[in-house]
Structure formats: structure tokens, C-alpha cells
Structure 1
Amino acid sequence: MSLTTTATEALGTALLTAHETQQPIAPLTTTAPDMTVEDAYGVQMHQVAAWKNAGRRVIGYKVGLTSLAMQKQLGVDQPDFGHLFDDMLLDASAPVSLAGFIAPRIEPEISFVLSKDVTGPGLTIEALADAVDHAVISLEIIDSRIADWKITLADTIADNASSGAVLVGEGTARLDGVDLAALPVSMRRNGETVGEGVGAAVLGHPLEGALWLANTLGSLGQTLPAGSLIMAGSITAAVAIAPGDTISASFGELGTLDVTFA
């Protein structure tokens, strides 16, 4: 690590303030150009600790930057992860307010719910598959507390992997009941197609995104508990959303997930 504890906490506090005020800040890497990925996770964890102390509950994790489309969009070459909290899970059956976001974008994802604890590192794809209860269609609203999305890998990691909110659909499947790698996914905004892909866009298979997470957390001494929701990564590039927009994401045989924003 290159940052002192004091510097790490100061950056984390700046992001917490940006969350609360919805006033974005300059890229952290402009004020801390030597910030490493390890430093950035330290900044993220400073915020996670504060949120837990405030009563928020971790319900899972999101894996970001797993598709070539997203890596190209943000100019990075490796995944990252962020924490999902109970109040980030939104109901798609009613119009969703964007009042709490700064510069929201949306992505279609295949997510997983665990039926048992898993611990890496060294976890195999077979062992992880055995621990998955089901896959579920989902949309992630990403947001950036960094002004104008001018982020490096370290910036987005520090900002809880640019997490915003989660919408989970009714389409679920057991892993042996659907070919997730071949699953066609498309997303429309106000009737216009804005993204298309297949499950394999996520590291070859969406489960690989979850495996990367389990092994990365394991290397940090953390277990993924049963019941966790794991968002495995976006299948298409993210698109901007605004009040009045309607998003419809189709996940092949698993159905669609529609949401309108207010």
C-alpha cells in the first residue's frame, strides 16, 4: 500500500460526503496519484464500515468490469468488486425514483444466490456451482461519486465499484437447467435497442465472475455466506438513464425485466 491510514480514511470520508450530498468529487487519483488497487479497496472498506455502523446490512456483492464492453468503456483490464446493501435492492414493479443518484447508468446482468457458504482462494468452478441455489435475471444501476465518470480502476474500486442499486426479476433457473453462456441478452431504452450480448460476455461464463469474486474475497480472508446475492457482471456496456426512461431487458428463455424511472 502507498497511502497512509489517515489518507485512506480521508478519501473514504470524501466519498461518504459525496454519497450524502449527491455532489460528485474530483477523481481520487488526481489527489492521490500513487493510490494502488489495494489502497482503493481500503478506501472502499472505510465506507463499508461506516455504512454498517449506520445500520445498513450487506446482502451480497457486485462484480464489475467483467465484460470486454465494460473494460473498453472505462479503459481497464481487470474486474473489481463492491458491496451490495439491503437498501440498494429496489422494486421494479413500480416506477423507480432516480432522485438519489448523480449520473446513473444501467446494465443487464445474470446474478446468483448461494445456498451454502463458499470460501476461496483455490475454489473451483464445480465447487461454486454446487453452492449456487439459482441464477436470476437482474439489472444493476451503477452510479459514480466521481465527477463525469472520469475514473480509473482505482477510482471505481474506491467508490464501491460504482455501485448504485439492484433490480432483480422473476426469471430464475437452476444451473443445470439453462446454458447461461449462450443465453441471449438484449436491453432496450424507450423501445430502442441499446445493448446486446450473450452470457459468455462475462469472462466466458457468468459463473466465472462469481468465481473470481469468491477467490478474491477468500484471499482477503472473507467467506461468501449462504444467501448472498452475487451480481456476476454486465453483459453489455452500460447506458445512461434519466427520469421518464423505460428499460426492458430480455434474458432469452429466462424472461424479461422491465423498469420505468421516475
Structure 2
Amino acid sequence: MTSVWVNHVEQGRISPFDRGLAYGDGVFATMRTACAHQTAAVLYMDLHLQRLQQSSQRLGIQWQANDLLIDQLLSLAKAYPDHCIKLVLTRGEGGRGYQAPDIAKLTEVVSVHPIPSHYAQWQQQGISLATSPIRLARQPLLAGMKHLNRLEQVLIKTQPLIANTQDWLVLDTDGWVIESSMANIFAIKEGQIFTPAMTHAGVSGVMREQMIDQLLTAGFAVTTKPLRYEDICSADHIFITNSLFGVVDVNTIDQFQFSRWTLTSRFRQVLSVDLP
């Protein structure tokens, strides 16, 4: 049984009238735990909580992580090293139809999950992507957030993957490259590094932001801008990032092949995301 806490109550229940269930009215974070130098930690916890707070504010939800939640996350990191902690925040019950209540009683759901075992192999060998036939809608009011409305990703994942591919490359309805179904994407061409803008669709992940910071610190030029399919497929190297597998090379997209970047492993070490 998955370990789960609802408002700090172990194996607690969520109301069938919760707005997260009824409307996807909320946000979530997926965080990795680690144990380094005998110290347990939630990797980049402060950044995950800051993003949750900022995303909540964009939805009109007033929330900030309190000491009880932070202590719980740190305790779980100690009990479950090299695991995934998922934190879901909803507006709770109330309101008339879609209209939100004037005063919200929020719901926090914390659960612990193992990290998929194949992620370590992905780090070592890289993966292949195929272009998804399903495209993301453009909605700047929600772009960048990890909100609970994930039906587009559900539809993408219901499509059977092409043989010898591990994930989908996802474009938006105007044909701009956005991400993979579960990660942000970077392209390297002639020493320049590019990543798609998240102004109209997609999720701006914590690991994406950390990777950009580390690349800039290392002296690389990083450009965030709209990218077309041909921009990605003409690159020399491609890699993807998320909070669980860190940084993974992309070997192929459809019929296009890429050499693995020689510095991928180095940046995984800098970011403390190597999997055992």
C-alpha cells in the first residue's frame, strides 16, 4: 500500500466534493529524496515549495508551506531515501459549481513512491523519443505551472509508444516544441544551448531551472525561446530533465539521431541527481 497522508492524517480520506477531484483545482510537486554524507534531504525542496506557492497564487489560492509540512517532508526523506514524494495541493471543498469559495479550506496530500527502476538505465544509456500525435493547447494563464489538469498528458500516455522509444516529444497546437511527456527538453547546436519557452504551454520544471543556472555558471550561453521541430532535430545533442531522473540524453527523435553530450554525467553530479 502506498504511504499517503491527507492534511497530515495517515491514510486519510479526501472528500468526493474536493475541488481538486471535481475540477483539477490545484497544483502539485514531484520531489526526490536523497541521502548524501549521512544526511537525508528532499532535493531542492525550497524551490519546489516556492513554485507551489507561486502557482497557487496564480490560481488565487493563498498557501504557504508551514513548519508542520516541512518537518513531515524532512522526516519522510529520512525514512525513504531515493524515493519520490508527491505533494498535491487543492482548494478543498466549497463554492458553487466552478466558482471558488470566498474562503478556502485547503487540502494537502503527501504520498511516497519508489523511483522507477529504469531511470538509472536511462541515465546510463539515454532514450529515444517519438513525436506525439496529440498536441498541447496554448493557454498562457496556466503555462509553466504544474497544475492538476493533466488530461492532455493522460491522452498522450494512452497512445502506444512506437517500438524502441521510451517517451513522446510533445508540440503545441501551433507546432512549437514544448517538452517530452514528462520532462523539459534542451538542444545543443554548435556550442549554443536552447530550451523552449514556457509562455503558452508546458511545465517549467524545477530541474529545468536548476540546469539553466548550472549551465550559465559553467559559462555556457543558454537561450530560452520558441523552437520548431526542425530546430530540435537539427541539433548536435539533446537532453531532457526532470526532478526524478535528473538529466538524460536523447539518442533519437523519430528518424533523427544525436550524439550523447560528453558533459551530461558531469552535470548530473553537480546537480546531485545520479541514481544508484
Output the TM-score relative to the length of structure 2. 0.25
Higher helix share: 1
Which of the two has higher C-alpha Rg? Answer: 2
Structure scoring higher RCO (CA < 8 A, sep ≥ 6) equals 1
